């Protein structure tokens, strides 16, 4: 791993995800807790206006505004598009990142526990994820194979990832998850410090990854209105196997709708509140083992 010089901890990318935003406020108030001898740690409240109003966003989802073409387009001038350009100037320019590591803090209404969300399988990301999983097996790791350029804030840096914790309602602080997220941040900073000092922490030789393979929307009528809910046997069962024929939705008149896939998958972000507007009832992943080099 190359020398780490600057780390950015980002919170409040979505304004109603309070744990990350308030952790940033804590770190700003007590900066010594995130400083390490060999690198500088910066903090960023990504969407301050949305946070102030307790909303996910003002005009559009900030975490979908970081496509390089859009960052260069002067015609895109909504609040979040303008904010994304400012963050881009601060954290990274055209692949020449001014930051070596980005840790973007998020919460979810789904039962995701402690999750690390990767956008690539660069060795640094995998080794860190494997280390976090080795000291706490409850830490799950998801990744999305990049078929096109990412629009997410984490993509401004190759060694960039999301910490996703839940379940927690939007606009709510949860003390237990706040503390677990905080401890995970400190563990990451200590890991990076160890790497800089040439003390590479021990990790597993392999890592279980949950690879994103698609999404499922709610059943809808011709007007786009939802016609069924997440089935009660599936609710809160993120990362658990979903087999063909298992119940997945429940209609309003009590009829179960079965999963029609041909193989076992592992749903995540089940019934995520913020995804209703995106037409996503859950994301599907496949479980795989990856060797750590």
Could you report the per-residue pLDDT of 31-81, keeping only the tens digit for each? 999 999 999 999 999 999 999 999 999 999 999 999 999 999 999 999 999
Angle (nearest 5°) at CA 39 between 153 and 120: 35
Q: Are 173 and 114 in contact (CB under 8 A)?
A: no
Does some domain include residue 66?
A: yes
Residue 55 within any structural domain of the chain: yes
What is the phi-psi region of residue 54: left when phi exceeds 0, alpha when psi lies from -120 to 50, beta otherwise?
Answer: left
Residue from 5, 108, 96 nearest 56 by CA: 108
> What's the CATH number where 16 sits?
3.40.630.10
Mean pLDDT per block of 10 residues along the chain (293 residues) reads: 92 98 98 97 98 98 94 94 95 70 98 96 93 95 84 92 98 98 98 93 88 97 97 98 98 98 97 97 97 88
pLDDT the model gives residue 146: 76
pLDDT of residue 145: 81
Say if 289 falls within a structural domain: no
Q: Do 100 and 41 share a structural domain? A: yes
**Structural domain boundaries, residue 230:** 214-275
- 241 with 122, same domain? no
SS (H, E, C) 221-264: CCCCCECEEECCCCCCCCCCCECCCCEEEEECCCCEEECCCCCC
Our count of domains for the chain comes to 2
Q: Give the per-residue pLDDT at 97.
A: 58
249 in the same domain as 178: no
User: Which tokens hold the place of 164?
Assistant: 């996703």
Q: What is the pLDDT of residue 94?
A: 47
pLDDT tens digits, 180-192: 999 999 999 999 9
Check whether residue 189 and residue 86 sit in a common domain. yes
Alpha helices (H) along the chain: 18-29, 48-53, 68-71, 79-91, 123-135, 175-196
- Indicate whether 244 and 182 sit together in one domain: no
Nearest to 4 by CA among 187, 202, 194, 135: 194
Q: Are 141 and 116 within 8 A, CB to CB?
A: yes
Closest CA to 190 of 117, 124, 128, 102: 128
């Amino acid at each position: 791993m190359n020398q780490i010089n600057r780390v950015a901890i980002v919170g409040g990318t979505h304004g109603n995800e309070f744990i990350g935003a308030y952790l940033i406020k804590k770190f700003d108030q007590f900066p010594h807790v995130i400083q390490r001898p060999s690198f500088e740690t910066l903090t960023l409240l990504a969407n301050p206006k949305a946070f102030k109003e307790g909303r996910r966003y003002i005009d559009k989802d900030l975490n979908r505004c970081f496509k390089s073409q859009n960052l260069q387009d002067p015609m895109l001038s909504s609040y979040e598009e303008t904010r994304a350009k400012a963050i881009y100037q601060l954290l990274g320019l055209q692949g020449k990142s001014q930051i070596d590591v980005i840790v973007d803090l998020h919460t979810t209404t789904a039962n995701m526990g402690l999750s690390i969300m990767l956008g690539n399988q660069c060795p640094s990301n995998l080794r860190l994820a494997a280390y976090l999983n080795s000291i706490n097996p409850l830490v799950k790791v998801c990744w999305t194979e990049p078929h096109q350029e990412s629009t997410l804030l984490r993509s401004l840096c190759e060694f960039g990832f999301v910490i996703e914790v839940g379940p927690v309602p939007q606009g709510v602080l949860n003390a237990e998850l706040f503390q677990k997220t905080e401890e995970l941040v400190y563990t990451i900073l200590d890991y990076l410090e160890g790497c800089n000092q040439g003390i590479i922490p021990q990790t597993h030789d392999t890592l279980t990854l949950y690879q994103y393979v698609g999404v499922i929307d709610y059943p809808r009528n011709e007007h786009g209105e939802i016609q069924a809910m997440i089935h009660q046997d599936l609710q809160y069962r993120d990362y658990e196997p979903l087999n063909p024929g298992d119940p997945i939705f429940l209609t309003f008149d009590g009829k179960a709708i079965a999963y029609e896939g041909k193989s076992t998958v592992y749903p995540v972000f089940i019934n995520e509140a913020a995804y209703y507007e995106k037409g996503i009832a859950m994301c599907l992943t496949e479980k795989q083992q990856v060797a750590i080099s």
